[in-house]
Amino acid sequence: MHSSQEPSIQDVTVTIQNIPKVRTIMRKNLLIVIALLCVSSVLLGQATMNAVVVHADAGKDTISRFIYSQFAEHLGHGVYGGLWVGENSSIPNTRGIRNDVVAALKTIKVAAVRWPGGCFADEYHWKDGIGPRENRPKMVNSNWGGVTEDNSFGTHEFMDLCDQLGCEPVICGNIGSGTVEEMADWVQYLTSDGDNPMTALRKKNGREKPWKVRFWGVGNETWGCGGIMTADFYANEFGRYSFFLKNYGRTPLYKISSGGLPEDCAWTETIMKKWKSVDGWLQGYLNGYSLHYYTVPDWNKKGSATEFTEKDWFRTFATTLKMEDLITKHGAVMDTYDPQKRIGLVVDEWGDWFDVEPGTNPGFLYQQNTLRDAIVAAVNLNIFHKHCDRVKMTNIAQMVNVLQSMVLTRDKDMVLTPTYYVFKMYSVHQDAVLLPVEVQSESCISGKDTISALSVSASRDKDGRIHISLANLDPEKAQNLRCEVKGTSASNVTGEVLTAATMNAHNDFGKPEAVSLKPFTGAQLQKGVLSVTLPAKSVVTLEVN
């Protein structure tokens, strides 16, 4: 073969004569390769570029203000010392309720408060908490620290709190250790103006007119502390209770069923199937279905609320993002029986749960609250917004001094947490129309955890103002993004930002605030397109008009 022979003089001469042509071909090929590499680089850049499209003219579903509801349980200092100090306290109060806490909570427009529990609800007998306080019997709070509950904060005090806050009450009834008659009497006591024993008892205790109380939880976590029930057993119990909870006023009761464990879609199906079988002849049997989900990366070792690593940060967000999957799965089961979405999904316990602060009672669940908690709250609120066609109420756990709270108190002092500031910033979304968004986000990776850098939601309020909330989950890197706002001729943008120098920044007693809202100037709007630079580990809300 020729290739195995040594080249002839003629071959070498031809090759030498063709060197310019070879060089030309090589040069052209090299240019093509470089061009292809450049195109690939651009395409790869586009694939990971942060891009958001807000469809400002396409909204139809409303973000219920009740997504911004709270939870106050007789747990630790959540009520006593946090909300209630008594009329004789040196701490400024109105009829025993702290003025500073009420003022702070009114600012974030609390929509509703769930009470008295939680696990406490299923050992609470409401008639022990009415009448002269000196005559009210005491009990042991066996769920939370084994402390004595003196019942000084009862039905009238709770309703006074709701009146002061300008919010609606959510009563969680006792079906674990209580009776149908007991809960039915509570409904009559609160809402009836007729000639009956409970109306007479209420008037005797100083309240002439009935209150407006529409939200009623029929038991709490009945799979566990609410009675260790099966889904079938609870479905029958719920039916029995629901039938005897009567409407006395003009506002129909909104009855909320206990859900199962977070992943238990079979429980959801059991309740929905029961609803479907009776709804044709028993209107108002079921109005809401409860889902509880806490952000706890490891129940055996929850970890510190303030001393954590970047790995812990990523694990926390990977865990909290599962909320979307849970809502989608339970929503799909509910859609099978209720495609019209008449039954609301009620996430009436959610939030971060870490180890208690060192030196505090383990049963009081008192934890600090950092920038990490604030961004967790923003992510969850964005998820609730996205699913507002089904999610009609959520209650973060809890309002004061317990778990992921809005407010911390110590004697006469009060601290506003980073989570509080997210709720303040996001209050613009209450009862606004959800605007569809498309989000293309870079990914953040730490170990086995990969999360999207961006979490986004948008709404249009009754005055036509557009609000876009953006969270950057990356603890180290700022995110640049292009946000196209379609269907509007807006020309102005303003904003607020919540961030801090460190992941674990928090507000504490006797120190200047480390985390609070600041004006945001990192957004420019030109011809309907926003250019935004989000600081690392931050939450931003923009107003476009």
| Cα distance between residue 121 and residue 260, in whole Å | 17
Segment 465-509, tens digit of pLDDT: 999 999 999 999 999 999 999 998 888 999 999 999 999 999 999
- Number of Cβ within 10 Å of residue 377's Cβ equals 30
Q: What angle do CA 256, 62, 280 make, to 5 degrees?
A: 45
For the structural domain made of 65-431, what CATH number should be given?
3.20.20.80
Note whether 449 and 64 are within 8 A (CB).
no
Q: What pLDDT shows up at residue 282?
A: 67
Catalytic residue among 73, 157, 168, 221: 221
- pTM comes to 0.89
Handedness of CA 473, 353, 395, 359 (dihedral sign): negative
Note whether 305 and 354 are within 8 A (CB).
yes
Q: What pLDDT shows up at residue 280?
A: 57
503 closest CA partner among 297, 241, 311 = 311
Q: Which residues of the chain have pLDDT under 50?
A: 1-28, 30-47
Please indicate whether residue 476 is annotated as part of the active site.
Answer: no
Tokens of 344: 């609301």
Dihedral angle, C-alpha 84, 89, 95, 99, nearest 10 °: -70
Catalytic residue among 73, 157, 349, 496: 349
Rounded to the nearest angstrom, the gap between the alpha carbon of residue 481 and the centroid of all alpha carbons in its chain is 25
| Cα distance between residue 115 and residue 98, in whole Å | 17
Give the β-pairing of 50-55 and 437-440.
Answer: antiparallel
| Cα distance between residue 506 and residue 354, in whole Å | 15
- Integer-rounded Cα Rg, in Å, for the chain is 29
Q: What pLDDT shows up at residue 350?
A: 98
| Cα distance between residue 421 and residue 36, in whole Å | 48
**Preceding omega of 398 cis (within 30 degrees of 0):** yes
Dihedral angle, C-alpha 522, 527, 528, 530, nearest 10 °: -20
Q: What pLDDT shows up at residue 47?
A: 44
Q: What pLDDT shows up at residue 489?
A: 86
Q: What residue ranges do the domains of the chain occupy?
A: 49-58+436-544, 65-431
| Cα distance between residue 96 and residue 88, in whole Å | 7
Dihedral angle, C-alpha 102, 106, 107, 113, nearest 10 °: 100
Q: What pLDDT shows up at residue 343?
A: 96
Burial tier of 250 (Cβ tally within 10 Å: 0-12, 13-18, 19+)? exposed
For the chain, the first-to-last Cα distance in angstroms comes to 80
| Cα distance between residue 493 and residue 405, in whole Å | 31
| Cα distance between residue 447 and residue 298, in whole Å | 16
Segment 173-221, tens digit of pLDDT: 999 999 999 999 999 999 999 999 999 999 999 999 999 999 999 999 9
- By residue count, the chain amounts to 545
Q: What pLDDT shows up at residue 276?
A: 86
Q: What angle do CA 357, 358, 360 make, to 5 degrees?
A: 75
Q: What pLDDT shows up at residue 89?
A: 97
175 closest CA partner among 129, 142, 248, 126 = 126
CATH tag for 49-58+436-544 (out of 2.30.30.140, 3.20.20.120, 3.20.20.110, 2.60.40.1180): 2.60.40.1180
